Amino acid sequence: MTEQNQEGELPEHLAITMFESPSSFEFYKKRKDLVLMLANLQAELGIKIMTVYLLDTALKNEEFSASVSSIAEIAVALREFSENSRTRISAFGRWYDLPSEVVESIKGLITLTADRNELFLNLCINYDGRDEITDACRIISLKALSGKLEPSSITRDTIKENISSSYFPSPSLIIKNNPPEASALLLWDSPGAKIIFTGKEWANISRQDVLNALRFYGKLKSQSE
């Protein structure tokens, strides 16, 4: 029996947090391998969409620098991974405000994988779901002011069409590491998602922890049907 069969129904869109503060430099040294583990697991099981939250907009000073440094390493590792993968890699958030070498690495990943449409790996970098919704409101307001959109025609779908994840369905499952509290990950899309708290620091998450979460999700889905 394969791991995929053991899990039962898999989420179409899995989201997971990988940055929660407080962290340490030693934590961030592990993150490249953790993201590669997730990318390989996505490809192995055929999870259509995976979104990984790597950096929010509130992280500052030394921890911010450590996180940005690890993102640069992740970009290099994912470039090698993507050469033989079916995965398109995208970035959400204000990642373009990061140091130029990191921005160029992320741009390179996006360009390299742009023609792939089988699996999708989204990296949330310098991201906050509240900013995402605010930016969408700003775009919609400009459209209304220019006469391209009637205010009376604005619906929930209008908001969805103007956020980073407009191309993707809402997450089916969110895996949240410590602390056990809500994050700003995909705020517009998160209502209705199953949320599993691992009870662990993100740097201590293993492949088996993710498989356990997927198995629990499959049980929840089967019970609700």
Q: How many percent of the chain have pLDDT more than 90?
A: 73
* 90-123 pLDDT per residue, tens: 999 999 999 999 999 999 999 999 999 999 999 9
What is d(CA 51, CA 6) in angstroms, rounded to the nearest whole number? Answer: 23
For the chain, what is the total number of helices (H) and then of strands (E)? 8, 6
Would 61 be classed as within a structural domain? yes
Here the CATH number for the domain that contains residue 90 is 3.40.1180.10
Would 222 be classed as within a structural domain? no
* 169-192 pLDDT per residue, tens: 999 999 999 888 888 899 999 998
Would 60 be classed as within a structural domain? yes
52 forms beta bridges with 16, 123
Q: Rounded to an integer, what is the distance from CA 219 to the centroid of its chain?
A: 23
- Number of Cα atoms under 13 Å in the Cβ half of residue 149: 16
Would 19 be classed as within a structural domain? yes
Mean pLDDT of 211-218: 94
Give the tokens for residue 7: 């899990």
Residue 42 and residue 1 in contact, taking contact as beta carbons nearer than 8 Å: no
What is d(CA 144, CA 33) in angstroms, rounded to the nearest whole number? Answer: 45
What is d(CA 125, CA 99) in angstroms, rounded to the nearest whole number? Answer: 12
What is d(CA 91, CA 116) in angstroms, rounded to the nearest whole number? Answer: 15
Would 142 be classed as within a structural domain? no
Would 76 be classed as within a structural domain? yes
Q: Where are the extended beta strands (E) located within the chain?
A: 13-17, 49-56, 87-92, 119-127, 173-176, 194-197
Would 96 be classed as within a structural domain? yes
Give the range of the structural domain holding residue 94, as residue numbers without chain letter.
9-127+170-215
How buried is 94 (Cβ within 10 angstroms: 0-12 exposed, 13-18 middle, 19+ buried)?
middle
Would 140 be classed as within a structural domain? no
Q: Model's pTM, two decimal places?
A: 0.91
How many distinct structural domains can be found in the chain?
1
